[in-house]
């Protein structure tokens, strides 16, 4: 079952840059071999015959990994991964924001509200105050953090 979600409200756009990362893995140590970087459970590489050993394997990652930040933001926010190091962070708080007059969480309940330029400004302000600590942590982890107001559609 795939749910189609339309989010309307303030959110964080966080961008990180591509970086080379490495992890330890039992693999063919010949870096030009096609099996280098694949986990091998045998003593010698079946392709090139090089001894299989524990070694560092490089892979492409991003400077900030959202799954590592989930605990950092204390579950008060959740994310959706976009393309090329761009992640979207939303409020995970179900409490009604008094200033905005509604919750920023995409819940099961239907919410009706008028969308006005004034409301957008007020909600961005309220969102930034509500999540000041989390936004600061995201700013430390990512290269670029922006608070926007908009409409986002995604599947989960
Ligand atoms: Zn090999």
The per-residue pLDDT for range 19-66, each reduced to its tens digit, is 998 889 999 989 899 999 899 999 999 999 999 999 888 888 899 988
- Ligand 1 centroid to Cα of residue 25, in Å, is 14
Are residues 78 and 132 part of one domain?
A: yes
- Ligand 1 centroid to Cα of residue 24, in Å, is 16
The per-residue pLDDT for range 64-78, each reduced to its tens digit, is 988 888 777 778 898
Are residues 35 and 111 part of one domain?
A: no
Are residues 54 and 119 part of one domain?
A: no
Are residues 147 and 75 part of one domain?
A: yes
- Ligand 1 centroid to Cα of residue 40, in Å, is 10
Helices (H), 1-131: 66-69, 117-130
User: Number of structural domains, the chain?
Assistant: 2
- Ligand 1 centroid to Cα of residue 116, in Å, is 61
Label residue 108 by pLDDT band (50, 70, 90): low
Are residues 74 and 31 part of one domain?
A: no
């Amino acid at each position: 079952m795939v749910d189609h979600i339309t989010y309307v409200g303030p959110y964080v756009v966080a961008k990180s840059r591509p970086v080379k990362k490495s992890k330890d893995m039992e693999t063919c140590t010949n870096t030009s071999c096609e099996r280098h970087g694949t986990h091998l459970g045998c003593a010698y590489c079946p392709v090139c015959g090089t001894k299989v050993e524990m070694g560092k394997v490089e892979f492409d990652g991003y400077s900030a990994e959202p799954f590592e930040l989930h605990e950092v933001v204390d579950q008060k926010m959740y994310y959706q991964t976009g393309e090329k190091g761009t992640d979207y962070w939303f409020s995970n708080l179900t409490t009604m924001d008094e200033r905005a007059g509604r919750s920023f969480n995409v819940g099961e309940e239907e919410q009706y509200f008028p969308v006005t330029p004034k409301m957008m400004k007020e909600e961005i302000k309220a969102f930034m105050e509500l999540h000041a600590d989390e936004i600061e942590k995201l700013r430390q982890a990512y290269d670029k953090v922006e608070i926007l107001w908009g409409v986002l559609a995604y599947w989960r």
